[in-house]
Chain A
Amino acid sequence: MQVTLHQDKCVASGQCVLAAQDVFDQRDQDGVAVLLDERPPAELHDDVRQAAAVCPALAIALADA
């Protein structure tokens, strides 16, 4: 799985961190999401899919890799 994060769309909601805290974090100053792992291990894929599904800004894109 290949994760792409579009920071210009992010609204700092933190939902991705709640869903998959090993893959996403938020910048301290403005809360914009940062990607910790572009290719997360298989056991985190469900969490990452949920993060992408709930992101209210459509800022997380997933592709097979």
Chain B
Amino acid sequence: MVVGASVAGLTAAVTLRTLGYDGRLTLIGDEPHTPYNRPPLSKQILAGTWEPDRIKLRTDEELSDLDARLLFGKSATGLDTAARRVVLEGGDSVSYDALVIATGVTPNSLPGAHHLAGVHLLRTLDDALALRADLRHKPDVKVAVVGAGFLGSEAAAAARRMRLDVTMIDPRPVPMRRQFGDRIAGLVGRLHTKNGVSMRCGTGVRRFFESGGRVTGLELTDGTLLDADVVVVAIGAAPAVGWLAGSGLELRNGIECDPTCRAAPGVYAAGDVASWHNDHFGCRMRLEHRLNATEQAQAVARNVLGAGQPFAPVPYFWTDQYDAHIQAYGIFPAEAELAVLHGELEGGHFVVAYGHRGRVVGVLGWNSPCELRKLRQLVVDRAPWTSIVPTQPAVWPGRHLSASLR
């Protein structure tokens, strides 16, 4: 049985079938839609260049070929690991031999705001369509984006493409600092400013103003008053594990799994909800990245069928903002060192490496997809930092390095 019917859940189900599992299969998801792809929600769907039909993960025919019991629009409300049963809303329960949990994350909300019309989260297709309608509801809409991470940044970029007035608010001094560190985050901040977003970094939101149940503006913690017709709240998300309370599973930052993504006998987790020990980096991680949801679900399907293999990937993500296509492999610790491997930081095209404890742990490319792919191997190899930034020139000359990466 699979709970959570988005990319990780569906991929687990599909992979089980591909690997030859021909027993009973149930896929449970609480959204009313058939499974769809989330990254375009904050990009093409919000901008209005794509309609929802384009983001379906599988056609209806492909879904019926899965030969699974599909319970969409139904949430799981409890888990009994001893009896191996999942409880559904309404009280029915379904038994399983093996369970894959892929319930993703739920966006964090701001206290005292979400009862107001005009205030939006951005996680589901319904969220994106509601936000899109609101951005178009009259000319000259003023937009406030709270949170300057990936989602907030992409929403701001989409709203600017619609030529709306956009202010982005974040308590941290630069956007995406947590993801990229100060240097690269500074470039993202400048990108927004250059594209006409008013950046309010280093402040939070104190309160909202309303008229007739609709948001009209907000007051920031530094005292600034802003008019706003639409507010996008993009302040991170928490693993969707509420339904697992009392199940006995370890729930800290996500469902705690071993290196094979197993949480308990017969229970596995994949995608945004899963926290597991990645042996490649020697640390526990939980990723909210599109590719990881696929790769982890594939690994889990293999392990459900007995492979018992650790899942130790090099993570990958991308984000599109204005004309910047940013992609990265690996991890990006705040205290990492940086080295430019290609292009120039100010030039609009570059690849940087992140070094941590003497090893290359990440590479990030800004409008440099081909170069980045070739440099990914440094992270796969956990290349010594000295091979990139030689302390002794003789250790590994730069020429040798670039030649070996072709």
Contacts and interface: CB of A to CB of B under 8 A. Distances in A.
A14 B320 CA distance: 15
A56 B325 contact: no
A17 B373 contact: yes
B373 A18 contact: yes
Interface in A22-65: 26-28, 30-31, 49, 53-54, 56-58
A38 B338 CA distance: 40
B369 interface: yes
A4 to B, nearest CB: 14
B318 A11 contact: yes
- The interface centre, meaning the residue of A11, A17, A18 with most chain B CB atoms within 10 A of its CB, is A11
A56 B320 CA distance: 14
Given A11-B320, A12-B325, A31-B325, A56 B369 contact: no
The 10 closest A-B pairs by CB, nearest first: A31-B369, A14-B373, A12-B369, A56-B290, A26-B370, A56-B291, A54-B294, A31-B370, A28-B370, A11-B318
Chain A interface extent, by class: 10 to 19
Interface in B285-317: 290-291, 294-295, 298, 316
Contact of A14 (B37, B57, B372): B372
Interface residues of B, number: 25
Interface string B181-214: 0000000000000000000000000000000000
B387 interface: no
Interface of A: 9, 11-15, 17-18, 26-28, 30-31, 49, 53-54, 56-58
A26 B376 CA distance: 15
A31 B326 CA distance: 12
Given A11-B325, A15-B316, A26-B373, 13 more contacts: A12-B369, A13-B318, A14-B369, A14-B370, A14-B372, A14-B373, A30-B369, A31-B369, A31-B370, A53-B11, A53-B294, A54-B295, A56-B294
A19 to B, nearest CB: 11
A58 B57 contact: yes
A54 B314 CA distance: 14
Contacts of A26: 369-370, 373
Nearest to B289: A56
B216 interface: no
Contacts of B107: none
A53 B372 contact: no
A12 B298 CA distance: 22
A14 B317 CA distance: 11
Contacts of B316: 13, 15
Name the residue among B37, B318, B320 with the largest chain A CB count within 10 angstroms: B318
Nearest to B327: A13
B171 interface: no
B39 interface: yes
Contacts of B370: 14, 26-28, 31
A27 B371 CA distance: 11
B327 A12 contact: yes
A15 B327 CA distance: 12
A53 B291 CA distance: 10
Contacts of A54: 291, 294-295
Contacts of A13: 291, 316, 318, 327, 369
23 contacts: A11-B318, A13-B369, A14-B369, A14-B372, A14-B373, A15-B291, A15-B316, A18-B376, A30-B325, A30-B369, A31-B369, A31-B370, A31-B373, A49-B18, A53-B11, A53-B294, A53-B298, A54-B295, A56-B37, A56-B318, A57-B37, A57-B39, A58-B37
Interface string B39-61: 10000000000000011010000
A37 B305 CA distance: 33
A38 to B, nearest CB: 21
A58 B373 CA distance: 19
Interface string B248-265: 000000000000000000
Contacts of B294: 53-54, 56
